[in-house]
Chain A
Amino acid sequence: MIALLLRDLRLATRAGGGFGLSLAFFLIVTVLVPFGVGPEGGTLARIAPGILWVGALLASLLSLDRIFALDHEDGSLDILVTAPIPLEGAVLVKAAAHWLVTGLPLTLAAPVLAVLLHLPGPGFFWMTVSLALGTPALSVIGTFGAALTVGLKRGGLLLSLLVLPLYIPTLIFGADCARRGAEGLTAGTPLLMLAGITLGALAILPFAAAAAIRANLR
């Protein structure tokens, strides 16, 4: 499983792996929003947590179809299914690799980009914590969506449509946690809910995703 993780990381970081794609998209969103909304500090500070969360969500959505598509094309997915490690574990590793190349860099980039949006001081800590806790859920849910659409030629649009409603609870609690933190309110409750969603998704969705892959490759 570690070998699989390293292989996926290596594939993602080498040329054409789309490692920078999500980060670039995140950068574009946060840079473009002030042009659309206006440079006024108060407005930007108020919407900053929401913008950063939506930006991170869309950025991680962008690279989802890569999770299984390339492996499906060159046949290594069939090998994974018949490999001695359980498919559920392989799915979890795939999600972890996706998180390491999108969720983690997004989490690290968010505080830097938050400066551009005038995020209030206490918000930085909560922004980072909520993204660190929430992005794994985005990756696992996205892996499930990718597993559902793995057999399709042009599954990208369908994948977004399937994953969009599944992302909503994560977005609500994550953005709310960051917003409360930025406004200096207690952010513990949404943070706990967010952690609950992440843990629940980690526990359940690999099984659903593995079932979907088996159905797709039958």
Chain B
Amino acid sequence: MSIWEYANPKKFMQTSAWVLPWVTGLAFVTLVLGLTWGFFFTGDDYRQGSTVKIIFIHVPAALMAINAWLMMLVCSLIWLIRRHHVSALAAKAAAPVGVTMTLIALFTGAIWGQPMWGTWWAWDPRLTSFLILFLFYLGYIALWEAIEDPDTAADLTSVLCLVGSVFALLSRYAVNFWNQGLHQGASLSLAPGERMAMTFKLPLYVAMTGFVLLFVALVLIRTRTEIRARRLRALEARGRMG
């Protein structure tokens, strides 16, 4: 039993068909629980009022925006090294989800920033690096769409993802160098010294779990769609030949 078994599309389809309802259900439950808890059963912050509650969407979305790219990076590496098609298709499937998460993080940040910082947008390092991440996602998706041959597209987007990751990291530090920020530091940290009260932290953890599960469910659905589309194309090609 090794993870490479799932490189077989048939095995992947079987297992994901079994896993998908559970993940979707759990994602639904944790999201409803986390967001309801966060929105309605936590107190208002004494300075920020109820705007603080946007954190229950903002932080998990930002978390998934970055982790989706990391997942695409891992999948791209697997495709380049072992040439498993499921891996390339999973990377393709994750990109639109990642870009949506990036947009959610940017928009909720703007909505929160307007009353708190007095501006919708600031050229703050964190905001700017998310904007750059958004551009990387756009380029990646556009490249997938532009190339007809699926294997060539997978190769080129994988190379772009590797190079893009290096440059995204570089931009992260360049942007720090370029402008000191308004944005607060990490919301959650393992270091001693509480940054957030437990009453906010627990629902936030639940919401984060919900976003992770939602991401997994969406990527599974999209990967399954991609595999089916690939099969359909193969069938059509066979039909034309026969």
Interface residues of chain A, those whose CB is within 8 Å of chain B, are: 144, 148-149, 151-152, 155, 158, 161-162, 164-166, 168-169, 172-173, 176, 190, 193, 197, 204-205, 208, 211-212, 215-216, 218
Which 3 A-B residue pairs are closest in the complex by CB-CB distance?
Answer: A215-B155, A165-B135, A169-B174
- Cross-chain contact of B164 among A155, A165, A173 (Cβ < 8 A): A165
Please determine whether B135 and A164 come into contact, CB atoms closer than 8 angstroms. yes
Please determine whether A215 and B174 come into contact, CB atoms closer than 8 angstroms. no
Query: How large, as a class, is the contact surface on chain B?
Result: 20 to 34
Please determine whether B175 and A212 come into contact, CB atoms closer than 8 angstroms. no
* Cross-chain pairs A/B with CB under 8 angstroms, 23 sampled: A148-B156, A151-B147, A162-B139, A165-B132, A165-B135, A165-B164, A165-B167, A166-B163, A166-B167, A168-B167, A168-B174, A169-B167, A172-B171, A173-B174, A193-B174, A193-B177, A197-B170, A204-B166, A205-B163, A208-B159, A208-B162, A211-B159, A216-B152
Cα–Cα distance between A161 and B144 once the two chains are bound (Å): 13
Q: Does residue B142 face the partner (Cβ distance < 8 Å to A)? A: yes
> In the complex where A144-B163, A172-B177, A212-B156 touch, is A152 in contact with B147 (Cβ < 8 A)?
yes
> In the complex where A173-B174, A205-B163, A212-B159 touch, is A165 in contact with B152 (Cβ < 8 A)?
no
> In the complex where A148-B160, A205-B163 touch, is A169 in contact with B139 (Cβ < 8 A)?
no
Contact with A along B98-128 (1 / 0, CB 8 A): 0000000000000000000000000000000
The interface residues of chain B, by DSSP majority, are classed as helix
Please determine whether B174 and A165 come into contact, CB atoms closer than 8 angstroms. no
Q: Does residue B235 face the partner (Cβ distance < 8 Å to A)? A: no
Cα–Cα distance between A169 and B139 once the two chains are bound (Å): 17
